[in-house]
Structure formats: structure tokens, C-alpha cells
Amino acid sequence: MELARHWRLRRQRYTLEGERCPHCGAAIFPPRDVCPTCHQEAREPMTFSGRGRVVAFTTVLQPPDAFTEQAPYVIALVELEEGPRVTAQLTDLGDTQPYVGMPVEMVTRRLRTVSARRGIVLYGYKFRPLLRVDVREAAQAAAHQAAA
Ligand SMILES: [Zn+2]
């Protein structure tokens, strides 16, 4: 029952919901109900910001069958602001070359078609180059220009 599994994972995939350990405060993603740091029960839901940085990446030229229509594509190890690392596809790169340290943010995108005949398409998270301007940096830049 593949659909049931996708349904169970929907919060994790669509909203980057993980867990916060009530014992040591560790941020946990993906959720696993046991803290990997202190090994105690951790079931407090925590929604991650979706922002992070690329730690490593590679271009996939020979994908598994379900992903052939998207190849070539970039898979990256992303360290989330809150600490955990996740592996996901980079998207919306345009002419931008990925690099280690690149700021990225989560977006929901089509992952693959589960059944074209039944019209079942699987969505989940990918990461794109960070678009949002840091408000404080923008204000400082504007103040700096005004003073010049
Ligand atoms: Zn813990």
C-alpha cells in the first residue's frame, strides 16, 4: 500500500515537520520518535524553517527509472538552520551553479508520477537558491547608501 505510506509522510514532506526532543532540545528530522542525541522519547512536533545551506552535492546523470524524465538533476546534502541534514533535489537553479555553502530554502515540487494511468503524482520537498532577502541586511545596505 504505497499510497498509505505517502499519506503518512505528508507532514514531513510538505511542511518539513520534524520533532524537538523535550529532554535535550535536539531538533530531529526526519521524525523518528526517539532522540538520536540522548536516546529518549521525543514526540513533540516541530516545524523547521526550511532554510539551510548546501553541504555537498552531485549531479545525477543516470537516475532510477521513476526519475528519468527529470535527469540530469542535482542532489544535495542540505544542513538545515536548526541542525539536521537532509538529502534532497535542488530545483529552480536556472544558470546558477550550486556550491558548498549555498543558502537554500525548501519548496514543494512534483517528485515523480506514481501512476500516470491513475493520475497519481507524488509531491514533496526540494530546495532552491534562497530568494528571500534578509530584511536587516537590506535595511543596513539602504542606510549605508543613504549615508554615502
Ligand atoms: Zn534528546
Compute the distance from residue 34 Cα to the ligand 1 centre, in Å. 8
Assigned architecture for domain 49-148: Beta Barrel (2.40)
Which residues fall within 8 angstroms of residue 58, CB to CB, at 6 or more apart? 74, 75, 76
> What is the pTM (predicted TM-score) of this model?
0.76
pLDDT at 127 over 90: yes
Q: How far is the CA of 100 from the centre of ligand 1 (A)?
A: 29
Give the DSSP H/E element, type plus range, for residue 14: helix 10-15
List, as ranges, residues with CB under 5 A of the ion ligand 1.
21, 23-24, 26, 35, 37-38
Checking if the pLDDT of 54 tops 90, the result is yes
Per-residue pLDDT tens over the stretch 72-114: 999 999 999 999 999 999 999 999 999 999 999 998 887 777 6
Could you tell me the distance, in angstroms and rounded to a whole number, from the CA of residue 31 to the centre of ligand 1?
Answer: 12
**DSSP of 53-117, one letter per residue?**
EEEEEEEESS--GGGGGG-SEEEEEEEETTS-EEEEEE---TTPPP-TT-EEEEEEEEEEEEETT
* Residue 6 parent element (H or E): helix 2-8
- Domain residue ranges in the chain: 1-48, 49-148
Nearest to 123 by CA among 113, 136, 133, 135: 113
CA of 123 to the centre of ligand 1 (A): 30
